[in-house]
Structure 1
Amino acid sequence: MEPDDDLLLLKRVDPGRNMNRFYHLSVEPTLFGGFAVRRTWGRLGTWGRTRLDLFADVSSALAHQQKLAAQKHKRGYRPE
């Protein structure tokens, strides 16, 4: 698995509501043989916050990443 193959960059911009957000999702290997879904979110121009969700195999991690991306798509986030 290449490092940037599973990187999703999403943005939600709505000037009328002063909304300028980003959401990044990536699947990364861990040191112990598992995989992690890294989520980073926040206002554009900031570092944002980060959360890791750990999984035993890559297929579970990719399924979780797609589930999160679908949720964000419903809320108005679009690919960068």
Structure 2
Amino acid sequence: MIRQPYQIYVERTDRTQNMSRFYAMSIEPNLFGEACLIRRWGRIGAKGQSMVHHFEREQDAVVLFLDLTRQKRTRGYRTLASGNP
């Protein structure tokens, strides 16, 4: 059972490089009670791609969630300013 909700949505845009990307993650339980890290990414406005990681322990999912969040922040991904969808 997931003790605390984990989810993030970040974007990276650069007009000079015609770059408009999003990256979203969440940790959710599956039908068997395992923690699943669900990742989605792609061009803003498109469906994009997704990947699901299954973990027996929530702690392992949180470690990967935080590591990927750190990586995205260093690459220039930022959360939306308040008031934007």
Structure 1 runs of 4+ with >4 Å offset: none
> Residue 62 of structure 1: CA displacement?
1.0
Question: Which one has the largest radius of gyration?
Answer: 2
> Residue 32 of structure 1: CA displacement?
1.4
Take 1:28 and 1:13, find their aligned partners in 2: how far apart are those partners? 28
TM-score by length of 2: 0.86
TM-score by length of 1: 0.91
Which sections of structure 1, spanning at least 5 residues, go unmatched?
none
The number of equivalent residue pairs is 79
Root-mean-square deviation (CA), in Å? Answer: 1.5
One-letter amino acid of the counterpart of residue 54, structure 1: H
Which sections of structure 2, spanning at least 5 residues, go unmatched?
81-85
Identity of aligned residues (%): 35
> Residue 2 of structure 1: CA displacement?
7.3
Structure 2 partner of 1:55: 55
